[in-house]
Amino acid sequence: MNRLVKTLLLTTTLILLVGCSNNVEKEQKKAETKNETTIEKKETKQLSIQPLKIAEESINKETKIIKIDYKIKNISDKKFQVAANDFIIKVGSEYYYMGDGDNYADTIKAGGNSEGSGYYSVPKDTKKFTLMYQPLDNDERAQWDLTVPANK
C-alpha cells in the first residue's frame, strides 16, 4: 500500500477509537450521576443470581433494615426452590439473617426467572458487608462484597 492509503486508514481507525471511547465515558458518567452500581451476577450449579439493588429501609437506635432486590434464573433442568433466608449477611465476624418484611420465596421452573426482595437486620453503622448465598439444604454457594448506599 502506498503511504497515503496507510495514513488514511490510520486516521480513520483513530477517529473510530476516539468516538467509541467518548461514548463509554459518557455512559460511565451517566451511571455515576444516577448513583447506579452494577452488582456482579454469579452462577452456582443451579442458579444465576443477580442482586439488583440495595436500599436502607429503616433505622432505629441499634439496627437498620436493608432491602436487597434479587433477580434469579434457574439454569438447571429441574425446578428449584430459593428464598431470602438462603442469603446471609456477614459484617466483620458476625452473621445476620433474614428479618421482618415481605421476604422473597419462590419455586422457579427449569429455565425460568424470578425476582423478589429480602430484608435483613444489621447493626446501625453497617456500611460494607458480604452477602452470601448459602442455603442449608444443598451445597450451592456464592458471595458478593457490597456497600449500603447512603440514604438521600
Q: Is the pTM of this model over 0.85?
A: no
Q: Which residues pair with 144 in a beta bridge?
A: 131
pLDDT at 41: 93
| C-beta neighbour count of 90 within 10 angstroms | 16
89 φ, ψ (degrees, to nearest 5): -110, 130
Residue 95 and residue 112: Cα distance in Å, rounded?
Answer: 30
**Ranges 17-26, 35-44, 59-68, 132-141: which has the least confidence:** 17-26
10 Cβ neighbours under 8 A, 6+ residues apart = none
Q: How many CA atoms lie within 13 A of 115 on its CB side?
A: 5
Could you report the per-residue pLDDT of 81-130, keeping only the tens digit for each? 999 999 999 999 999 998 888 899 999 999 999 999 999 999 999 999 99
Residue 114 and residue 108: Cα distance in Å, rounded?
Answer: 7
